[in-house]
Amino acid sequence: MKLSGGVEWALHCCVVLTTATEPVPAARLAELHDVSGSYLAKQLQALSRAGLVTSVQGKAGGYVLTRAPELITILDVVAAVDGDQPAFVCTEIRQRGPLATPAEACTRPCPIARAMAGADAAWRAALRAVSIADLARDVDDDYGPTALAGIRDWLDGPNGGGTATA
């Protein structure tokens, strides 16, 4: 039971992209979070494949959110990066062995698979209840509005536009 580490990066990137109005390159996001740019690109590609962000190529290219942050849930990001298959996959071992249950009696999943599926549903429901907009609002509540504003300024700032300040 382990979640891919890239999920954390992707979620942070989505929150950051909330503040941006122009496309943000993957290299810029990697510099902001101090992570491997090459690997972060892979996660952003996954988000692009899932339709959560749009990629713009060319000189002023980068990534932009496709919809409003209120319409993107944490579950969307997790499913895009980590895959949408459930954590528990039933092997149907009840149909194996000397006392195997006949296939005709297996009209519904076995009790174990049902319990695990229920837990998985609860997990997904909790992730679906929180949107990227909620996360951005929580950041404002925790650190004040200056935090996200500072990120927006840094993204549009000169730290990569060509002129270095410091």
- Residues interacting with DNA, by CB under 7 A? 2, 4-6, 25-28, 36, 38-39, 41-42, 44-45, 48-49, 55-63, 82-83
* 69-82 CB burial, b ≥16 within 10 A, e <16: beebbbbbbbbbbb
Between 48 and 77, how does the x/- string for binding to a second copy read (CB under 8 A)? Answer: --------------------------x---
By CB under 8 A, name the one of 98, 161, 162, 165 that touches a second copy: 98
Tokens standing for 91?
Answer: 């092997």
Query: Which alpha helices (H) appear in 83-144, and where do they start and end?
Result: 111-128, 132-143
Contact 17, 53 (CB under 8 A): yes
Binding flag, residue 93, a second copy (CB under 8 A): yes
Give one word for 4, left, alpha or beta, with left for phi > 0 and alpha for psi -120 to 50. beta
Residues that bind a second copy (CB under 8 A): 1-5, 7-9, 11-12, 15, 31-35, 74, 78, 82-83, 85, 87-91, 93-94, 96-101, 105, 108, 110-112, 114-116, 118-120, 122-127, 130, 134-135, 138-139, 142-143, 147, 150-151, 154, 159
